[in-house]
Amino acid sequence: MQVGFVSLKDYRSYEDVELRFRPGVNILVGPNGVGKTNIAEAVGYTSTLNSHRVAVDLPLIRQGAGQAVIRAAAIRGDRQISLEIAINPGKANRLQVSGSPVRGKDFVGLLRTVVFAPEDLALSKGDPGERRRFIDEVLIQRSPRYLAVKTDYERVVRQRTALLRSIAGTRGATARADTESTLAVWDDQLVATGGALLFGRLSLLDELAPLVAQAYALVAGGKSGTVSYQARSLAAFKDHDGLPREVSELEDLLRQELSDRRPEEFARGVTLVGPHRDDLTLLVDGLLAKTYASHGECWSMALALRLGSFELMRGLGDDAGDPVLILDDVFAELDSQRRAALADVAAGAEQAIITAAVAEDVPRVTAAQTFTVTPGNVTSDG
């Protein structure tokens, strides 16, 4: 898979710019703050409809503009697919594929990317939400139907939590009973959507975990790094390997847990059961990375998660081929051993987009094309 071009209109610092990428390694070079990451972010956003830097879309729109527009071409084998996103503040974004409007589930995954950026250190050191976001983004790129599953699940959790809060303030046995009967409807939806999302995550991690272990050994000189699933709200199943791999069994576990924790949920007014509370357990040489790993080991684990997902997606066997590998200003953060290992992966990718303050930060890579980035402008060496 390749990005043929990306065009940005009123996106971040760019009023109007277009870049045409080549197969192989494309390097964007320029001082910090000139807009290199904005380009890398836009390519990644076209893949996942999420930014690796911010949680909301408003910062993506150039100051003073009414909307931002990203246009790109995804090249899959001998097919070229035109993609367009109009980012509208306060409203739904407009998505088009080859000129026709589509929904998110039909857009995500047409361009596959893996982005590794300084923010990824939070995968090792940050809170569980960072790791849930990682696993869900990989899951959705691999199987875009899970975008609808995740969206439905998050809606159910919001509605159910609002109802639990109202129950906490309800007076009178009859009024409370009526509200609790409504809760049963939301319970059914949480079990169905939560079971499906949990199944997807576990199935993905069964494939991803060995690839992460291999990648960690590569970048950390043979040391051990592992990832497993932690179902924090299922009290009887703390161990990844012990969790069932059948949707119906997962649904039964969630339903039982909802029943067991009903009094606590009433008291606290919050949904305490479901995959929105889960985590990934990252171990380095058998110890919890967040607590015991060094700074370099945490970088290695974050890098291994991304390289593992890269290997997973390049092995799907469809017309997409390799995902586009995006390395955003990370070489300067790594020691020589990790730089060399990452450079070898980039050199072997069908297409890579790398940002760096100076070209010398990127070792052992022959660039197919180098761009010089200055504020609001990009020029190519060819």
Domain of 103, CATH number, reads 3.40.50.300
205 and 332 in a single domain? The answer is: no
Q: Are residues 199 and 178 in the same domain?
A: yes
**Cβ neighbours of residue 173 closer than 8 Å, sequence gap 6 or more:** none
β-bridge mates for residue 18, sequence order: 7
Cα angle vertex 71, ends 105, 76, to 5°? 65
Look at the chain and report how many structural domains it folds into: 2
For 138-162, the pLDDT digits (tens) are 999 889 899 999 999 999 999 999 9
Beta-carbon contacts of 128 under 8 Å, excluding residues fewer than 6 positions away, are: 232, 277, 278, 279, 280
Residue 238 pLDDT grade (very low, low, confident, very high; cuts 50, 70, 90): low
- Radius of gyration of the chain, Cα coordinates, nearest whole angstrom: 22
Tell which phi-psi region holds residue 65, choosing left (phi > 0), alpha (psi between -120 and 50) or beta. beta
Backbone angles phi, psi at 340, to 5 degrees: -65, -40
C-alpha 33, offset from chain centre: 24
Q: What is the pLDDT of residue 152?
A: 96
Same domain, 98 and 158: no
In a shared domain, residues 9 and 136: no
376 shares its domain with 297: no
Burial 123-147 (b: 16+ CB within 10 A, else e): bbbeeeebbbbbbbbbbbbbebebb
Helix, strand or coil, per DSSP, at residue 10: strand
pLDDT per position as a tens digit, 117-128: 999 999 999 999
Tell me what the mean pLDDT of segment 227-238 comes to: 81
Q: In terms of pLDDT, which residue wins out, 341 or 37?
A: 37
Q: What pLDDT score was predicted for residue 180?
A: 74
Residue spans of alpha helices (H) in the chain: 36-48, 104-107, 121-125, 128-142, 146-168, 173-219, 247-260, 262-268, 289-292, 295-314, 336-348
DSSP state of 55: S
pLDDT for res 178:
66
Residues 103 and 156 in one domain: no
Res 367: pLDDT: 84
- pLDDT exceeds 90 at position 232: no
| Residue 364: HSE in the Cβ half-sphere, 13 Å Cα cutoff | 14
Q: Is the dihedral of CA 163, 165, 167, 172 positive or negative?
A: negative
Inform me whether the pLDDT recorded for 172 exceeds 60.
no
Print the domain residue range for 335. Answer: 1-112+320-382
Name every residue whose Cβ is closer than 8 Å to that of residue 336 and which is 6 or more positions away in sequence. Answer: 363
Q: Does residue 341 or residue 236 have the better pLDDT?
A: 341
Reading phi first (left if > 0) and then psi (alpha if -120 to 50, else beta), residue 90 is in: left
Which residues neighbour 202 within 8 Å (Cβ) at sequence distance 6 or greater? Answer: 229, 240, 243, 245, 250
Q: Are residues 238 and 353 in the same domain?
A: no
The pLDDT score that the predictor gives to residue 310 is: 94
d(CA 355, CA 45): 16
Percent of the chain residues past pLDDT 70, beyond the cut: 94
In a domain, 117, yes or no: no
Per-residue confidence (pLDDT) for residue 181, from 0 to 100: 79
Residues 6 and 139 in one domain: no
What DSSP letter does each residue of 311-346 carry, written as one string?
HHHHTS-STT-SPEEEEES-GGGS-HHHHHHHHHHH
| 234 and 350 together in one domain | no
Residue 55: HSE in the Cβ half-sphere, 13 Å Cα cutoff: 3
- Is the pLDDT at 274 greater than 90? The verdict is yes
Q: What is the pLDDT of residue 177?
A: 66
The reply to whether 169 and 227 lie within a common domain is yes
Edge-to-edge strands, sheet with 2-11: 14-20, 2-11, 68-76, 79-87, 94-97, 100-101
pTM of the model: 0.91
For 71-113, what is each residue's pLDDT tens digit? 999 998 888 999 999 999 888 899 999 999 999 989 998 999 9
